[in-house]
Homo-oligomer: A and B are copies of this chain.
Amino acid sequence: MSLSIFSAARLDSGCFWKKGKIAKSNMWSDKQLLVRASVASSPQSLRFARKKSEKLQKDVRIAVLGASGYTGSEIVRLLANHPYFGITLMTADRKAGQSLGSVFPHLITQDLPDMVAVKDADFSEVDAVFCCLPHGTTQEIIKGLPKNLKIVDLSADFRLRDILEYEEWYGQPHQAPELQKEAVYGLTEISREDIRRARLVANPGCYPTSIQLPLVPLIRANLIQSKNIIIDAKSGVSGAGRGAKEANLYTEIAEGIHSYGITRHRHVPEIEQGLSEAAQSKITVSFTPHLMPMSRGMQSTIFVEMHSGVTVDDLYEQLKIAYQIDNLVKGASGQALQNLNVMMGLPEDMGLNYLPLFP
């Protein structure tokens, strides 16, 4: 077997945007391993224990900033069946004054407030915020929000602990370094306890999620070497957002594969930050992302070298221990909701119990 020649193993993991598709690709030798987020049953807060009427007044009032993009609309979709989170505010600067249904017809049946410009937003009826705005502008906006709000930020603005590294990779000085210190990196399965106490959570990027989830437990258990980690990642197009770009036109994407951001993708420092922390020493990786002709879904094929004496079965067992195999819409919006559930003392998977769609 070629892999054994240099004591390496290949991990496949997915970002769980589209669960059915991901499940199919989580093959590992002969064993099928579903690398899914562990959903430890958290004690349900008494606050929510009372019986809800069908047409309940939702307890937590939610704002979605940047509701006209793909991550924003996905949060709206997920919240539709959430028993405690109700949307009271949505912003979208270029679509201010419009209904969400006019922008996303698949959400037309939802009873939602019209979208407003973020500068006109009134946060007096809001308890928690999903911030789905572009990196760079996000810092300023979050800095200006009332301090009592709980916030899950889906941008990259608060993911890198080192603000110099932020400046290097994102090309501008960080505008809210004090908030950066407060922010908790929201890889739920890894940092559950910190997230529970957090006010501001930096929701991980999709690539880093798909890579850290399988690797962190293996590094912590000292099963794999921290050098020569090679990641070949494949992403659907929705990860690029809804902005009109020539490169993402149907005609440009269909029937082709695109490598991009080679050696320079902005998710590299985020990945290395997470892995290094797990190893308690500096880890660097080789990361090559590819754009695939599909809308949702992500798969990262990871090549690692095992420590002497370690077998593929050991890796498999470790991951089985680390992750109870469960079904959860991961990726940007699902993980954001998972994080807010944790921050609110709710069961982590509340509103996330959807089965994948296939075919």
A285 at the interface (CB under 8 A from B): yes
Is A10's CB under 8 angstroms from B251's CB?
no
Is A227's CB under 8 angstroms from B109's CB?
no
Report the minimal beta-carbon distance from A174 to chain B, rounded to whole angstroms.
Answer: 23
What's the Cα separation between A36 and B2 when bound, in Å? 28
For A8, the closest partner residue in chain B by CB is B286
**Which residues from chain B contact A260 at a C-beta distance below 8 Å?**
27
What's the Cα separation between A254 and B294 when bound, in Å? 7
Is A359's CB under 8 angstroms from B3's CB?
no
What's the Cα separation between A54 and B206 when bound, in Å? 32
What's the Cα separation between A358 and B73 when bound, in Å? 9
Q: Which of A59-67, A213-221, A337-345, A348-356 contacts B (4 or more CB under 8 A)?
A: A348-356
Is B250's CB under 8 angstroms from A237's CB?
yes
A307 at the interface (CB under 8 A from B): no
Report the minimal beta-carbon distance from A196 to chain B, rounded to whole angstroms.
Answer: 22
Which among B230, B292, B296 is the interface contact of A230 at CB below 8 angstroms?
Answer: B230
Is A294's CB under 8 angstroms from B256's CB?
yes
Q: Given A262-B10, A303-B230, A354-B354: A253 and B255 within 8 A (CB)?
A: no
Report the minimal beta-carbon distance from A28 to chain B, rounded to whole angstroms.
Answer: 8
Report the minimal beta-carbon distance from A22 to chain B, rounded to whole angstroms.
Answer: 8
Selected A-B contacts with CB under 8 Å, 21 pairs: A2-B287, A5-B227, A5-B286, A6-B286, A20-B106, A20-B256, A23-B106, A24-B258, A25-B257, A25-B259, A36-B109, A106-B357, A244-B249, A248-B249, A249-B250, A250-B250, A250-B295, A251-B295, A255-B294, A257-B292, A303-B303
**Which residues from chain B contact A234 at a C-beta distance below 8 Å?**
234, 257, 290
**Which residues from chain B contact A272 at a C-beta distance below 8 Å?**
2
Is B327's CB under 8 angstroms from A255's CB?
no
Q: Given A109-B325, A263-B3: A253 and B250 within 8 A (CB)?
A: yes
For A265, the closest partner residue in chain B by CB is B2
User: How many subunits of this chain does the assembly comprise?
Assistant: 4
Report the minimal beta-carbon distance from A19 to chain B, rounded to whole angstroms.
Answer: 6
Which among B108, B254, B290 is the interface contact of A23 at CB below 8 angstroms?
Answer: B108
Is B2's CB under 8 angstroms from A263's CB?
yes
**Which residues from chain B contact A326 at a C-beta distance below 8 Å?**
109
**Which residues from chain B contact A232 at a C-beta distance below 8 Å?**
232, 301, 303
Is A246's CB under 8 angstroms from B242's CB?
yes
Is B3's CB under 8 angstroms from A286's CB?
yes
**Which residues from chain B contact A293 at a C-beta distance below 8 Å?**
250, 292-294
**Which residues from chain B contact A285 at a C-beta distance below 8 Å?**
2
Which among B18, B81, B106, B354 is the interface contact of A24 at CB below 8 angstroms?
Answer: B106
Chain A positions 113-165 with a Cβ under 8 Å from a chain B Cβ: none
Report the minimal beta-carbon distance from A234 to chain B, rounded to whole angstroms.
Answer: 6
**Which residues from chain B contact A357 at a C-beta distance below 8 Å?**
18, 77, 106, 296, 357
Chain B CB within 10 Å, residue with most, of A10, A28, A36: A10
A284 at the interface (CB under 8 A from B): yes
A176 at the interface (CB under 8 A from B): no
